[in-house]
Chains A and B, each alone.
Chain A
Amino acid sequence: MTDVKELIQAKVKCIGAKREALMPILQAIVEEKNYLNEEDMIQVAEALDLSTADVYGTATFYTFLDTVPRGKYVIRVCKTISCHMAGKDEIVDTLKDLLKVDLGETTPDKNFTLMQANCMGWCHKGPVMLVNDDIYTELTKDKVIKIIHDYMGS
């Protein structure tokens, strides 16, 4: 696992040790660790000469910059209207059954976190979900089970 200090330095190098680097840095940390912990936010604050409250306040504005622990794979099922009409509820229920977690929860093995999110830009192919950065469209019950099993296998 890459050291957070290195992640910060890499971004600071191309953007500068200024506030503009904040989002890219936080995004890089989340990409690596799936969420931002207290120590990491302190390091970011230190590197950019910001207050920790400011870093925290900025992170919590953005849905994808989680500040509570998340699993290795973060599943986000689109809950907005087109996907809703296309049957996202069944997809969510399937995932709940499969992973034995409720919305917002993480599996005990810390592999999966199940969440919902707003429109992902694939409304013509709903229901859809994101697993980390990867998009899965035109989901059906069987398709979801297969996708998750593939992640479990890997």
Chain B
Amino acid sequence: MENKKFKLVDIIFETEGCDVGVVLDRVLKRTPDDIIMDMIDSGLRGRGGAGFPTGLKWKFTRSESAYDKYIICNADEGEPGTFKDREILEKVPMKVFTGMAIAGYAIDAKEGFIYIRGEYRFLQKKLQSQIDEFNQMLENKGLDFKIALRWGSGAYICGEESALFESMEGKRGEPRNKPPYPTVAGFRNKPTVINNVETLVYATMINKYGADKFKELGTRDSRGSKVFSVSGDTPKAGIYELEMGLQVSEFVKEFGDGDTKAVQIGGAGGTCVPRKKFEDMIIGYEGVPTGGSMMIFNSSRSMYNVLHDYLEFFAEESCGQCTPCRVGCQQLLKGIEAVKRGERPPSYLDDLKSLAASMKIASKCGLGQSVANPFSTIIDNFREEVIY
């Protein structure tokens, strides 16, 4: 497998600065189809976790004939261990807005919304005035596109795209049945492009530097760079933009505290990689994908506690509509507690693993489907810690 060495990248936050007006002027001189071709060519995949090719998403939405279409920036960032979207919106908001405007131009949408989690309410005033400023700029350039802000109110599941639409429509954030997909029926049941904050910034930057520069970075399946949120047992907690395709061992060498026993990649719903597998795993779509969350645990940590925390999180944050996830999360949580207390035999963990496997295939949305990731990887690699 192709893998990359540790390399800091400076695209998203770009210390030298970026005049988004210039980028937009360049975009507006080209055709939407050309823009989309470039996006496809760049190999950019969504940075929100699911990793869908961004150019294709735009292409599908463009080909829908509806009059009303929408661009939505997903700034719900609720995955434990992720905090990069907030930083991006604080530091380079104009690049996010520009990405939305480019997407709007590409698919012929007139309205864009930023759905941002309620926890970031302190950003409201600043963000709103920056949006106003940006909308004014678009008007001056004669681009018929406007951005508005919508707030979440403390519900992790609203980061899931269809739950997010429901929430924006004033409803409970319960994920919808798919199909139809957002490119066909999203917000207000109209064709919608929904992209993560970071994805949109890369869209801007690809239009600034061209697809080739982006493509130079990363691996065949994981092009470009990505912003990582590093936390846990590390002397260097924080936000880093790194080339994709990094081997976990390289990552640990750079960020670990010398005593790293496991890294949880991709947040609570991600995969737990134990020390013995650091050399085998690549951070990227061909290995362990991540929306950016990297949590590092050293040998003083109990992996039972880690798993317990995750399961508690899921039991609370599941929307509760579908059986495997609503009840399954509670069962996994109560189950490991019972094994720990000796009320159920260690072999019960295998029943629970089988349950988690059913949750992975039978749940309605990505939340319930992802609980098996941390569950199985922690049970498989740290069974003793969970039992005793």
Contacts and interface: CB of A to CB of B under 8 A. Distances in A.
Interface centre among B118, B168, B170, B295 (most CB of A within 10 A): B170
Contacts of A19: 169-171
Contacts of B171: 19, 22, 58
Nearest to B300: A85
Interface string A59-80: 0011111000000000000011
Contact of B167 (A23, A130, A133): A23
Contacts of B239: 124
B80 A62 contact: no
Given A64-B118, A124-B237, A81 B154 contact: no
Chain B at the A interface: SS class: mixed
A116 to B, nearest CB: 10
A82 B121 CA distance: 21
A3 B367 CA distance: 39
A133 B116 CA distance: 14
A123 interface: yes
A17 to B, nearest CB: 11
A18 B188 CA distance: 12
B162 interface: no
B74 to A, nearest CB: 14
Interface in A1-41: 18-24, 26-27, 30
A81 B303 CA distance: 11
User: How extensive is the interface on chain A, given as a class?
Assistant: 35 or more
Interface string A115-130: 0011111111110001
Contact of B150 (A24, A121, A135): A24
B332 to A, nearest CB: 16
Contact of B122 (A62, A63, A135): A135
B310 interface: yes
A18 B310 CA distance: 37
Contact of B79 (A23, A65, A119, A122): A119
Interface in B30-69: none
B317 interface: yes
B82 A118 contact: no
A97 interface: no
B270 to A, nearest CB: 12
Contacts of A81: 80-81, 232, 268, 295, 306, 309-310
Contact of B83 (A30, A123, A133): A123
Contacts of B173: 61-62
Interface in B152-186: 152-156, 167-173
Nearest to B312: A79
B153 A118 contact: no
Given A19-B170, A61-B172, A126 B80 contact: no
Nearest to B310: A81
B154 A124 contact: no
Contacts of B79: 119
Interface string B76-91: 0111111101100000
Nearest to A84: B309
Interface string B287-329: 0000001010100010001100110010011010000000000
B257 interface: no
B155 to A, nearest CB: 5
A119 B295 CA distance: 13
B209 interface: no
A134 interface: yes
Given A85-B301, A133-B122, A62 B295 contact: no
Given A81-B309, A119-B80, A123-B81, A22 B153 contact: no
A153 interface: no
Given A23-B150, A133-B122, A126 B169 contact: no
A82 B294 CA distance: 10
A124 B83 contact: yes
A58 B172 contact: yes
Contact of B153 (A64, A120, A123): A64
B80 A61 contact: no
Nearest to A119: B80
B169 A121 contact: no
28 contacts: A18-B170, A22-B171, A23-B168, A27-B118, A61-B155, A61-B319, A62-B118, A63-B153, A65-B153, A80-B268, A80-B313, A85-B233, A117-B154, A118-B80, A118-B156, A118-B313, A118-B317, A119-B80, A119-B156, A119-B313, A121-B119, A121-B120, A122-B83, A122-B86, A123-B232, A124-B83, A124-B238, A135-B119
Interface of B: 77-83, 85-86, 117-122, 124, 150-156, 167-173, 229-233, 237-239, 268, 293, 295, 297, 301, 305-306, 309-310, 313, 316-317, 319
Nearest first, the 6 closest Cβ-Cβ pairs linking A and B are A63-B154, A22-B170, A124-B237, A62-B153, A19-B170, A123-B231
Interface of A: 18-24, 26-27, 30, 48, 57-58, 61-65, 79-82, 84-85, 117-126, 130, 133-135
